[in-house]
Amino acid sequence: MSHRKIPCYTKWLFAVFMAVFIPGYWIGHGPSNFLWFSDIVLFLAFFATLFESRFLASMAAAGGFIFLSLWNVDFVFTLFTYLFDIKLAGFTAYIFNSESSVWLRTLSLFHVALPFLLLWLIYRLGYHKRAWIFQTAFFGTVILVTWLVTDPSRNINVVFSYKIYKWVNMGAASFLLIEFV
């Protein structure tokens, strides 16, 4: 009997998806796109699956489950209200943009499955009670790196929202600190 907690076919399917996803996103969006929290959570989930790491699965869940669930709510809402041009949060507007590549929009549907995968990983591997501490420090670092190296017009992880939204009346350091918290 195998002592594996994650079936091999799950690891292989995930690896095949990542082998398509990484070059597809790299070519279509550029390397800075991998700094989106959802992409980082995807990588954490992949390595958690591959190495059956409770710690990485817990980091991914702590860092991504809530906002990925919100992404899904926005996606389903937009799916049913698209013809009426009603938006909930606008997180998923790019999925419905016909000017974007169908291929890239299809790859981006990983957001739909990822929260369920995270729950399944926690169910199979267990939750590491200190993962949220490392996840917080890790995502804080990602926020800073994103702010330092990405194009403000892309507003990855909304780190440049203090410039875009007029209602945010604060400097970069204050905004990044609030986002980190």
pLDDT tens for 124-162 read 999 999 999 999 999 999 988 998 999 988 889 887 765
Tell me: the pLDDT tens digits for 17-46?
A: 999 999 999 999 999 999 999 999 999 999
Per-residue b or e along 46-62, where b marks 16 or more CB atoms closer than 10 Å to that residue's CB: bbbbeebbbbbbbbbbb
Predicted local confidence at residue 150, as pLDDT: 93
Predicted local confidence at residue 162, as pLDDT: 58
Contacts of 91-100 with CB under 8 Å at 24 or more apart are none
The rounded mean pLDDT for the chain is 89
For residue 118 the two structure tokens come to 């995270």
What's the mean pLDDT in 76-105? 89
**Does the pLDDT value for residue 176 go beyond 70?**
no
pTM of the entire predicted model: 0.88
Predicted local confidence at residue 1, as pLDDT: 43
Residue among 174, 4, 33 nearest 94 (CA): 33
- Side chain identity, residue 50: L
**Does the pLDDT value for residue 69 go beyond 90?**
yes
- Domain ranges within the chain, ordered by starting residue: 8-130
Distance CA 78, CA 74 (A): 6
